[in-house]
């Protein structure tokens, strides 16, 4: 995309309430894909294929979860050159999320605080959209490999935490036939007690259940879909070691590090810094990189790690790869910098791999 266009669009969008800007942009991407307007965000995809957990990714830059929670804009996102996109978090039933306002920009720190709380239209609508996109792709004969789709599942706010596994099992079964990989999100700070599922006993119980169900689904569908666990950055060393051990013990296929942080040290004193929720963007970068480094040490050389947190430049992406990530995702950097960041990072990672 011509960069001056996003510069102008961003100036406009940043005048609006953050959630309004988000919804308007997503609606435009959904509706204008395939029209002449789409030339403003269409970009060449840099081909740099990599296989992770048996899944082929056309390149190593992906969209992080939470931007396209209802799988509305898959085709438009693909046209920006992403190698993969993680859609969701989706919960079994539709739910409104937390009261507004719940999304705040911190431009001075290039951060975002959100407490959206998994607002989404539920599994049925989500799966229908992903299925329709898969059918459109299938109908395009002779086309190149499409971007990989990660489908990110969570639990409804109304489901008691003791019954969380029921919601993940529903999500797992529904998205299984449609996903290239499935992300298990137990790390959002915005659903009460969700992150308690990261504690050793709860995590072992949940992963045992999901791993067993995954085996059944692989037989049913005659297809193996890998599970990735998405974790928070706010974990001490003992907690992180316990998670690494659980991942290996239950044969989970990969990990996504990290979700947003509840820490505020990096933004103290700034407007909105004390809003409840998860902080993302530049203030998260170093923390998420350090988690990736520790995970790589604990998990060994071959375990798939997707890195996310404060990637705003090629340098930031390379930092995550050097820390041990095999691929990276962006969300906040994409909001601040625009789609041009996608091929820029893809190209740098391709160069670095040579």
Q: How far is CA 297 from the centre of its chain?
A: 23
- Is 333 one of the binding residues for ligand FMN (CB under 6 A)? yes
Q: Which stretch binds ligand FMN (CB under 6 A): 33-41, 128-136, 330-338, 339-347?
A: 330-338
- Which residues are marked as active site? 188
- Is 337 one of the binding residues for ligand FMN (CB under 6 A)? no
Q: Which stretch binds ligand FMN (CB under 6 A): 59-67, 124-132, 166-174, 299-307?
A: 59-67
CA dist 133 → 126, 129, 201 (Å): 11, 6, 38
> Site for ligand FMN (CB under 6 A): which residue of 60, 105, 155, 230?
230
| 196/66 Cα distance (integer angstroms) | 20
Q: What is the DSSP letter of 233?
A: S
- Name the helix (H) or strand (E) containing 214: helix 200-221
- Is 156 one of the binding residues for ligand FMN (CB under 6 A)? no
Minimum distance, C-beta of residue 31 to ligand FMN, in the bound complex (Å): 21
Residue among 324 and 333 whose Cβ is closer to ligand FMN: 333
| 271/79 Cα distance (integer angstroms) | 35
Q: What is the DSSP letter of 254?
A: E
> Site for ligand FMN (CB under 6 A): which residue of 89, 91, 198, 326?
89
Q: What are phi and psi of 121, to 5 degrees?
A: -90, 5
Identify the CA nearest to 175 among candidates 120, 135, 225. Answer: 225
- Is 292 one of the binding residues for ligand FMN (CB under 6 A)? no
Nearest position to ligand FMN, beta carbon: 66
Q: Which residues contact 166 (CB under 8 A, 6 or more apart)?
A: 159
Minimum distance, C-beta of residue 138 to ligand FMN, in the bound complex (Å): 27
Contact residues: ligand FMN, CB under 6 A: 64-66, 69, 89, 103, 112, 114, 116, 118, 152, 185, 188, 230, 259-260, 280-281, 284, 308-311, 330-333
């Amino acid at each position: 995309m011509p960069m001056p266009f996003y510069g102008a669009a961003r100036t406009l969008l940043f005048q609006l309430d953050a959630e309004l800007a988000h919804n308007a942009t997503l609606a435009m991407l959904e509706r204008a894909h395939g029209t002449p307007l789409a030339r403003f965000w269409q970009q060449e995809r840099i081909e740099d294929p990599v296989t992770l957990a048996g899944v082929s990714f056309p390149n190593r830059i992906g969209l992080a979860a939470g931007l396209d929670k209802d799988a509305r804009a898959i085709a438009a996102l693909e046209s920006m050159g992403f190698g993969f996109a993680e859609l969701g978090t989706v919960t079994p039933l539709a739910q409104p999320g937390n009261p507004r306002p719940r999304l705040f920009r911190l431009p001075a720190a290039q951060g975002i605080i959100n407490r959206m709380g998994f607002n989404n239209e539920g599994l049925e609508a989500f799966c229908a959209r992903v299925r329709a996109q898969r059918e459109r792709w299938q109908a395009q004969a002779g086309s190149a490999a499409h971007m990989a789709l990660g489908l990110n599942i969570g639990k409804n706010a109304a489901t008691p935490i003791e019954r969380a596994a029921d919601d993940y099992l529903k999500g797992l079964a529904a998205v299984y036939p449609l996903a290239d990989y499935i992300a298990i999100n137990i790390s959002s700070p915005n659903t009460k007690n969700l992150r308690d599922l990261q504690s050793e006993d709860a995590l072992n119980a949940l992963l045992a259940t999901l791993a067993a169900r995954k085996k059944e689904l692989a037989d049913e569908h005659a297809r193996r879909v890998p599970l990735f666990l998405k974790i928070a950055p706010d974990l001490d060393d003992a907690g992180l070691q316990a998670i690494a051990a659980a991942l290996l013990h239950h044969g989970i296929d990969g990990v996504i590090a990290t979700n947003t942080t509840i820490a505020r040290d990096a933004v103290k004193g700034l407007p909105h810094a004390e809003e409840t929720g998860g902080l993302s963007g530049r203030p998260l970068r170093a923390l998420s990189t350090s988690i990736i480094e520790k995970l790589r040490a604990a998990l060994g050389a071959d375990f798939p790690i997707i890195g996310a947190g404060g990637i705003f430049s090629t340098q930031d992406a390379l930092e995550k790869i050097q820390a041990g990530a095999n691929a990276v995702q962006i969300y906040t950097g994409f909001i601040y910098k625009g789609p041009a960041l996608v091929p820029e990072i893809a190209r740098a990672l391709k160069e670095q791999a040579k």
